[in-house]
Amino acid sequence: MDSDLQIALVGAGLGLVVLIVAYNKWQEHKHKQRAEAFRSEGRDVLLERRSGAGAQERNEPRFGDGEDEAAVAGVGASGAAPSAVRPVREAPTRRSAPEVPEVLDARADCIVRLEAIEPLEAQRVWHAQSQQLAGLPVRWFALDETSNQWRGLDAHSAGACHWYCAAMQLVNRQGAIGEAEFQHFSGGVQRVADALMALPAELPLRTDTLQKAAALDRFCAEVDVQVGVNVVATGAPFEGSRIHEAASAQGMTLQGDGTYHARDVDGNTLFTVGNLEPSLFAADMMKQVRTGGLTLVIDVPRVSEGPVAFDLLMQAAGRLANALGGAVVDDNRTLFGAEAADMVRGQIAQFQERMDEHGIPAGSPLAKRLFAI
């Protein structure tokens, strides 16, 4: 029984194979006949144009001239190409996302670009983001399509644009953003896009963004160094009016942060001179000031050519000490001599070399943002 059944199954299988082969042969013969009939109906215009030294340029068809079907196929009734053509316009494509604003950096900013099909009024965007992103340090930009330049967006911006960009800085001196800040930013930007019927070009990934922020924060903490020396009174306390006179004589100006700033030719702060005691200096109160000393500080990550800036700081400290009747000392009230100065200068150079290697030079715009006071 089993052998008879097996023989029957094998026979049925062989019969099925024969039927399939026969059907395929019949289909092949049928398609061959159709192909031969098609080739016999006329010339293969595409093959003729691709071969031969005398191949003609492509001519697009035109309609409504009373020409026969051969003209529609790209040749005239006599087999020649039509004498006039109408150019074919390419279908419009979606605009590609523009590069991010130059003032941003993908290493330090969480960036989202928004595209609107129709131009969006800047004030609508500003109002919508103010509602959704209140309390976050978010910067907005609008792409001026005439100049192809990103412009900062604020409450007074006017006009309408297709592209907008939102950015939140990942790290500052208070630390890196956390889960809550990221969710607030990404969710808020998405809600702005939904409200304005705009499309985010791409949304940041939570894990990648938070890991990037944490790594950058660790690096910044390693190089966030401030170096200071003190000029202390060796007799009577320093008088505020004399401090102001001595600082001004060296080109320093009193700023709103309560310190005198020494600047380079481009207006960048090289170092500051402040009160060694807790109170800050104020322009309208200098005549009442009495203090036991001054502190000169160089903010290493925010100053380019740190060793040079430190030498200028030491020169200024010596002049202030001479003018006010004081001495230049370190935090332990030990006289700050040439050997100590050489050691500090070398340390500043090392920190700034590390920043260069990391691609964030000291004193650069990105460094000033990351190490904002």
Name residues of the chain where pLDDT drops below 50. Answer: 1, 5, 10, 17-18, 21, 26, 30-31, 33-93
Query: Tell me, what's the pLDDT at 202?
Result: 76
CATH of 109-220, one of 3.30.1400.10, 3.40.1160.10, 3.40.50.1000, 3.30.565.60: 3.30.1400.10
Task: Give the tokens for residue 297.
Answer: 């500080």
0.75 surpassed by pTM: no
Residue 11 pLDDT: 55
Nearest to 257 by CA among 232, 275, 240: 275
Query: If we measure between CA atoms, which residue out of 91, 79, 88, 82 comes closest to residue 43?
Result: 79
pLDDT of residue 12: 52
Tokens 């060793």: give the residue.
Answer: 307
- Residue ranges, CATH 3.30.1400.10, the chain: 109-220, 224-370
Q: Which of 309, 310, 318 is nearest to 231 (CA)?
A: 318
Look up residue 298 and give its two tokens: 């160089």
Per-residue model confidence (pLDDT) at position 70: 37
Selecting from 2.40.50.140, 3.40.50.300, 3.30.1400.10, 3.30.300.30, what CATH number does the domain 224-370 have? 3.30.1400.10
